[in-house]
Amino acid sequence: MLKGRDVISILDFTRSELEKIFREALKMERVQKLERPLLKDRLLATAFFEPSTRTRLSFETAMHRLGGSVIGFSESEGTSLAKGENLADTVRMLDAYADVVVIRHRIEGAAKLAAEVADVPVINGGDGSKHHPTQAMVDLYTIWRELGRIDGLHIALTGDLRYGRAASSLMYALTKFRPKKVSLISPASLKPRKEIMDFISGTKLKFSDEEDLKEIIGDLDVLYVTRIQKERFPDPAEYEKVKGSYRVDPELLSDAKKSLIIMHPLPKVDEIDLQVDETPFARYFQQAAYAVPVRMALLALLLGKAM
Ligand code: NCD
């Protein structure tokens, strides 16, 4: 039962719940055109304390497409937080005004705290480096839609696997499925955090640490690229050491399977050569577009209004 639930971590969901969201999202892809007002008179509050383009706007688009409305802010300067109000008090207000709240915050655990304070469902739109559960839903849905399955695939995650919450949530999410293999490729200082490695080691997920993307590119079904999270580096000198240390370009892709898909949670900076955008491998813009039906499905299910 998804009605009334908070969405804090992807680990809170079973495989069959995720598959229910996918099925619903597939229906929503069609509804986008029909614009059936499933959530008429319902209100979504977006509380974004950190920058966002896709997450906030796709949630807002999803709510509008379902016939609901949206309130919120995308920087705390314009709110009473700037006057010293604490997060819990701000959340209490959103709880009183809205039917569902999406929160993004730089502090890990902020969404969990908000969920404890609010009665309405709280959705974590990203908390520091920790979780980004709805991005993981979008990512799984993209693989499922583009390749028809998640099980049996060779999936590589590259880039900043340490500070990137999208990559972290996807690693957790993949433990719910049975990919053939998950390859993790990143510079030594950007390897996944111990808590994640400990967790996935305790599951049946087949994963391996790889040094060189070139060596495995020919076997991959999915290449998931991420941005180095400059803003989360405790030491700027550390960032300087790893910046530009990996790059996906046409030369690397000359050995790839024709059916390979390249994904990226976006924003991308310089980790993917612009020429790759024009190739059939590039699915990151489609991935960003799938965010709308997936978030429509999630909002409808949380508010008990699924089709
Ligand atoms: C990501 C995020 O904010 O965690 N973006 C997103 O939500 N699509 C990835 C990033 O900032 O690199």
- Summarised one tens digit per residue, pLDDT across range 23-71 is 999 999 987 665 668 999 999 999 999 989 899 999 999 999 999 999 9
pLDDT at position 307 is 76
- Ligand 1 center to residue 84 CA distance, Å? 27
How many Å is the maximal CA-CA distance in the chain? Answer: 56
For residues 147-171, average pLDDT: 97
- Summarised one tens digit per residue, pLDDT across range 243-274 is 877 889 999 999 999 999 999 999 999 899 99
CA dihedral 302, 175, 125, 84 (to 10 degrees): 110
The span from the CA of 32 to the CA of 213, in Å, is: 38
The span from the CA of 56 to the CA of 155, in Å, is: 27
| Ligand 1 nearest-atom number relative to CA 160 | 12
Task: Identify which of 135, 160, 287, 290 to mutate to test ligand 1's pocket (most ligand atoms within 8 A of the CB).
Answer: 135
The span from the CA of 30 to the CA of 295, in Å, is: 14
pTM: 0.95
Residue nearest to atom 2 of ligand 1 (CA): 166
Going along the chain from its start, the domains and CATH numbers come out as 10-131+291-302 (3.40.50.1370), 133-288 (3.40.50.1370)
Which amino acid is residue 119, in one-letter code? D
